[in-house]
């Protein structure tokens, strides 16, 4: 089955950064913890200074690594991910902040290998890195890994930096794309989404209303909402016609 075929039904559950209340977000442990509890996993991807695609949400390393405790990195504030080489990123601990257990860096390649081996689907959110890298470099790095591992059918690309989306579509037309928005809808929403050639619209729960969901669905776009940790709210959204939600607690929806 292809990612887009998931949308033939409603009620889709996306594990936001993996099962991030059970394990440190965006790590292999959080991916493993979400198996059996979701329809797809969502991770965030960024590039290291030397151009390796790594899985990390924040632009900076302080919250989810031990970087601030390492003497050699003391002068590297604000610890931008894009200022650290892959070797440096790989030397950090991505788990102790969460529960005291060491967890290594997760690369995009490893995340793709994981979903391939476990026959899962992955939403690859490409973080806005336009201040650090050209759009071309970001997209060609991310897409090359997807092509190398031959997981085109199992992934979707999403981004708040919409410039990336037509580039993804141009280079890998078979892979669906999603525009992410947080505070406001773009003007002329439907025309705008058509101009980006996206398949899906991912919006913040605070932006949702029935009218816009109807309009989007009627225009042929699928709609996902983040971040929904209340099953009653999820039910309301699905009744409105929303296709899927991103949740920090996938086991709330798919208890084993
Ligand atoms: O893709 C949905 C959600 O992950 C977007 O927000 O900041 O958690 O990446 P954020
Ligand atoms: Mg995300």
CATH of domain 3-58+106-252: 3.20.20.190
Using alpha carbons, select from 255, 253, 250 the residue that is nearest to residue 31: 250
Q: What pLDDT digit, counting tens, does each position of 7-30 carry?
A: 998 999 999 999 999 999 999 999
Six-digit token string for 137: 């470099």
Residue-range domain boundaries for the chain: 3-58+106-252
Ligand 1 atom having least distance to the Cα of 158: 1
Ligand nearest to the backbone CA of 14: 1
Q: What pLDDT digit, counting tens, does each position of 158-183 carry?
A: 999 999 999 999 999 999 999 999 99
Cα of 242 from ligand 2 centre, angstroms: 18
Q: Nearest 5°: CA angle at 141, between 135 and 142?
A: 90
pTM over 0.95: yes
Q: What pLDDT digit, counting tens, does each position of 76-90 carry?
A: 999 999 999 999 999
Strand, helix or coil for residue 218: helix
Question: Ligand 1 test: best mutation among 246, 247, 248, 250, most atoms within 8 Å of CB?
Answer: 246
Any idea how long the chain is? 256
pLDDT above 90 (res 254): no
Q: What pLDDT digit, counting tens, does each position of 48-75 carry?
A: 999 999 999 999 999 999 999 999 999 9
Pocket of ligand 1 (CB under 6 A): 16, 42, 44, 57, 125, 158, 180, 202, 226, 246
């Amino acid at each position: 089955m292809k990612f887009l075929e998931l949308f033939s039904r409603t009620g889709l559950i996306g594990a936001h950064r993996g099962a991030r209340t059970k394990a440190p977000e965006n790590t292999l442990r959080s991916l493993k913890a979400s198996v059996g509890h979701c329809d797809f996993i969502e991770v965030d991807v960024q590039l290291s200074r030397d151009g390796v695609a790594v899985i990390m949400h924040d632009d900076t390393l302080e919250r989810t690594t031990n970087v601030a405790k390492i003497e050699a990195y003391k002068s590297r504030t604000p610890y931008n991910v894009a200022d650290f080489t892959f070797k440096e990123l790989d030397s950090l601990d991505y788990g102790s902040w969460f529960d005291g257990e060491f967890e290594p860096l997760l690369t995009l390649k490893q995340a793709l290998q994981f979903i391939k081996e476990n026959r899962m689907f992955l939403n690859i959110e490409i973080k806005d890195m336009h201040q650090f890298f050209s759009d071309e470099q970001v997209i060609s790095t991310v897409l090359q890994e997807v092509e190398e591992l031959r997981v085109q059918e199992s992934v979707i690309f999403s981004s708040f930096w919409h410039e990336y989306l037509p580039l993804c579509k141009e280079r890998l037309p078979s892979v669906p794309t999603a525009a992410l928005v947080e505070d406001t809808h773009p003007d002329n929403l439907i025309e705008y989404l058509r101009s980006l050639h996206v398949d899906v619209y991912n919006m913040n729960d605070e932006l949702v209303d029935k009218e816009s969901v109807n309009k989007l669905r009627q225009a042929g776009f699928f709609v996902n909402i983040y971040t929904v940790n209340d099953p009653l709210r999820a039910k309301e959204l699905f009744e409105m016609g929303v296709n899927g939600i991103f949740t920090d607690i996938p086991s709330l929806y798919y208890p084993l």
